[in-house]
Structure 1
Amino acid sequence: MTEPVAFPQNRTCPYRPAPGYQALAERRPLSRITLYDGREAWAVTGYALTRRLLADPRISSDHSDPSWPVANAAAAAARNFGADQKKVIGRLTALVGVDDPEHRARRAVAEAGFTPGLIDALRPKLQAVVDRQVAEMVAHGAPADLVTAFASPAALFSLYEALGIPREDQEYFKQQTGQLFGPAAVTAYDELVAYLTKLAGQHPTDSLLDAYLAVVGDRGTAEVLQLVLIMLVSGHHTTSSSIAIGASALLQHPERLAELRADPSLLPAAVDELSRLVAVTDGIQRVAAADIEVDGTTIAEGDGVFFVLSLINRDEKHYRQPEVLDWHRPDPGDHLGYGAGPHECVGMDLARAIMEIAFGTLLERLPGLRLADPAGEIPVQPGESFTGLVELPVTW
């Protein structure tokens, strides 16, 4: 056995794997890693093996499993929260943190909201949110931090609009959701549920909330409200980080940027290619519920498994020139940035729409947009298997 590689490690470039993952890339598709507490686990880094394992029922998403792997001390501390806080966290992971048949039943409701027709109907609302954020950033003046001035609020308020949260209530909602993983989690959760219960009675049209209610009826209102909060918690940071890091990648590829400005019809493919390259969710966690044989190697029952997307999406056996930003690939949407199998991101088409509108509006409204600091000085959030930027200074 080769020496395990420490996981997770910090990226030095926002859209490239951590330099210390080179050994994992060389050992594709499966190798050993060591977590922060010395526990060993498996890193999956091959595209084909990822598709196979994420569809295997022996690869469990059950967060309550005592063998569930944690990537850092903060995640470990959350497992020692009090009973009330754990109950809230359990509700907020009730879609991604359970297995079938429970997962299948909840996902069926969640999928009912994400129809192509509804997402198309939401586009004018999403455009209005993005237009407002760009206008506020421009009014504030250059230079600006694209993370706090644009990417984060554009993603968050777009989700609010999609879910049917009225604009006048969005700041209140932001304050309450910000407390869901802190000491006031129970109070915040109860207040949010009370608010959503009242909102559900009004059936906001052209919204995910209304689409969910139409599927389950009044008897399923509690389940729908839980789904709404899950969407907010799981969807905001991945989308905002994809916008911020995707923008940093585009601004370092001026020839690609010019091509998009000349032909906006390329935006859908560009969003997928940026999602492949960025891979913000860099370590999808699972636990083996039974022994699994992989080409003569055994992933034993109880072993932790991490799917390292920054390497999976650069597998040379699947992608030609994987380090190149190229949205002219035959199928730019076949990346695994949204996962795969039963737990593939249910909101990925909404995320794509938000990013497409965000990038398109930035390119149109700010033709001179560029980095305000050298690319090598862009600060990446440290120590996580989820990647984000501390800030992204830009000017125009």
Structure 2
Amino acid sequence: MTETPAAGLRGLPLERESPFAPPAKLAQLREERPLARMIYPDGHEGWLVTSYDLAKAVLGDLRFSNRNDLRHSPIPLPRAEAKASRTPPGLFSRMDPPDHTRYRRLLAPYFNVRRMRELEPRITEIVSRLLDRMAEQGPPVDLVEAFALPLPSRVICDLLGIPYEDHESFQRDSATLFDLTAEVGASSRAWGSLYDRLRRLVLTKRTAPADDLLGYLTTCDLTDDEVTFMGITLLVAGHETTANMLSLGVFTLLEHPDQLARLRTDPTLAEHAVEELMRHQTIIHAGPTRAALEDVELAGEVIKAGQVVTVSLVAANRDARRFPAPDTLDISSAAAHGQLGFGFGIHQCTGQQLARLEMRIALGELFRRFPSLRLAQPVREIRMRDDMSIYGVHRLPLTWDEDEEQTEAVRGRSASHGTTTHGKRSGDRT
């Protein structure tokens, strides 16, 4: 018998028993009702998807929309408005084709494989400088503040052409936008701050074109608002997601010493490790959400036009029908390359190759430079980002043996003066 809305799940489960394990309720639903009715916090009667195949089916179907004005949040939000707003021009992540297609096509030259190869030496340089600074500061350090956050922030600033001097402001505003407890006023101020800063920069690049992504966009047939909101989208997503995945990935490896030992022994596993960490520790833990544009039959049910479907990437990436031993971390697993941490379909992450590159270089160099790296406080005291739409850690205090790091630093500098350059060595790890 078809279940009634009254019998459906009420809101998306977020409660975890372990920082490294998804909510147990999601696993139960995936086995019993991978497409389950769910009552959203605002009373909307929609659906929750928890299996891998159904997740791909929804995310890859253009009959499901990502438009801002059709959305319903699967979790309570203080800032949730009675009526969802229309998508601003240029905020392509909340658009459907053909507008979404037009904007994404403009960005393609800056995120292709050739461009990633060009960026690799610069990313390696940034990583090395940040690790040098960590070594100079000495333990303990907060990895988030010292390394995981400044790395992608510097890279995306370079790519967009945004002065890094503004990083504290845009990091603070971005954090507010991802804060599930932020009130309407705080979110509005954060949006306004980001908009004002980016718009001023766009106007400057209109009169003095620059060889960067924002400069390039000002030469396209786009309005100032379009370029501004495209810049905001890339800036916010370009550092928040990678920063949290990197810090959570380090935390996970430190708590799985057998896997960390394999990575240290064989640095060529870094590419697999990134994919497996993305799968095992999916940071998009509250969505994504799509709205049916028409009646859609799925898994024997009819999702009616206007109904919203939330896809749990956290649950889909632990589906045993797709991933062998899904709850076990295995950095050598080739199966992990099908993970959905970057999404799927036309809205799959624009900068996914950049994120992969940053994480691969960062993980390899971090554990090479600091062989004795370890937590500086008990696991139970690490505060997780349950209160943010991007999962991770708020802080990750780490320590190491200083004399050991100095030895590794000397080895690294010696190798960089040999026949193989530091940047090339990092590139060979894939």
Flag whether TM exceeds 0.5 (same fold).
yes
The question of whether the paired residues in 2 share the 8 Å contact of 1:123 and 1:353 is answered with yes
CA deviation after TM superposition for structure 1 residue 173, in Å: 5.7
Q: Which residue of 2 aligns with 1:58?
A: 63
In structure 2, the residue matched to 1:17 is 22
User: Which of the residues 187, 191, 196 maps onto 2:197?
Assistant: 191
Amino acid at match of 1:146: L
Kept in 1: contact 2:40–2:46 (CA 8 A)? yes
What corresponds to 1:143 in structure 2?
140
After TM superposition, the structure 1 stretch with the greater mean CA deviation from structure 2, 189-198 or 294-303, is: 189-198
Correspondence for 1:4 among 3, 6, 9: 9
Q: Match of 1:43, SS?
A: strand
Shift of residue 102, structure 1, vs aligned partner: 1.1
- 1:152-301, aligned counterparts within 5 Å? 152-168=149-165, 170=167, 181-183=187-189, 185-186=191-192, 188-199=194-205, 203-205=209-211, 207-209=212-214, 212-213=216-217, 217-220=219-222, 222=224, 223-282=226-285, 283-301=287-305
Offset at residue 339 of structure 1 (A):
0.7
Which amino acid letter does the alignment assign opposite residue 263 of structure 1? D
Q: Partner residue of 2:425?
A: none
Compare 151-160 and 377-386 and name the one that shifted more. 377-386
Aligned equivalents of 2:206, 2:165: Cα separation in 1:
16
Instruction: Give the C-alpha shift of residue 118 in structure 1.
Output: 1.2
- Shift in alpha-carbon separation, 1:8–1:234, aligned structure 2, 3 A: farther
Displacement after TM superposition at 1:15 (Å):
3.1
The answer on 1:26 being equivalent to 2:31 is: yes
Match of 2:420 in 1: none
What CA distance in whole angstroms lies between the structure 2 residues aligned with 1:287 and 1:233?
A: 24
Instruction: Spell out, residue by residue over 1:57-99, the C-alpha distance to the aligned partner (whole angstroms, 9 max, x if none).
Output: 221101112xx2113443x625369x9xx68x7357x211111
**Aligned equivalent of 1:386:** 390
% same residue: 34
Structure 2 gap segments, 5+ residues each: 178-186, 401-430
Any stretches of 5+ residues in structure 1 without a counterpart? Answer: none
Cα distance in 2 for partners of 1:287, 1:259 equals: 43
Q: CA, structure 1 residues 38+380, in 2 after alignment: closer, same or farther (shift >3 Å)?
A: farther
Distance 1:148 1:191, change over 3 A: closer
The answer for the alignment partner of 1:77 in structure 2 is 79
Distance in 2 (CA, whole Å) between partners of 1:218 and 1:46 is 41
**RMSD, matched Cα:** 2.8
The equivalent of 1:123 in structure 2 is 120
Q: Are the counterparts in 2 of residues 279 and 309 from structure 1 also a CA contact under 8 Å?
A: yes
1:42-57 correspondence runs (5 A): 42-57=47-62
SS in 2 for 1:389: coil
Please give the secondary structure, in 2, of the residue aligned with 1:314: coil
Letter in 1 for 2:138: G
Query: Is residue 90 of structure 1 aligned with residue 88 of structure 2?
Result: yes
Query: Within 2, Cα distance between the matches of 1:163 and 1:179?
Result: 21
Verify the 8 A CA contact 2:139 2:398 in the aligned structure 1: yes
Query: 1:370 is matched with which residue?
Result: 374
State the 1:243 CA deviation: 0.6
Rounded to whole Å, the distance in 2 between the matches of 1:312 and 1:275 is: 12
Contact 2:202 2:214 in 1 (8 A): no
Say if 2:312 is the partner of 1:314: no
In 1, the alpha carbon distance for the partners of 2:324 and 2:193 equals 51
Relative to structure 2, which stretch is displaced further, 154-163 or 250-259? Answer: 154-163
Q: Please state how far the C-alpha of 1:132 moved relative to its aligned partner.
A: 2.8
Q: CA deviation at 1:166?
A: 4.3
Residue equivalent to 2:306: 302
CA distance in 2, matches of 1:235, 1:267: 21
The 1-side partners of 2:366 and 2:378 are apart by 20
Match of 1:351 among 349, 355, 361: 355
The match for 1:41 is 46
Structure 2 distance, partners of 1:32, 1:78, is: 21
Counterpart contact for 1:276–1:337, Cα < 8 Å: yes
Local SS of the residue matching 1:259: helix
Distance 2:390 2:15 in 1: 10
Highest Rg: 1 or 2?
A: 2
- Between stretches 233-242 and 9-18, larger displacement belongs to 9-18
Runs ≥4 residues deviating over 6 A:
175-180
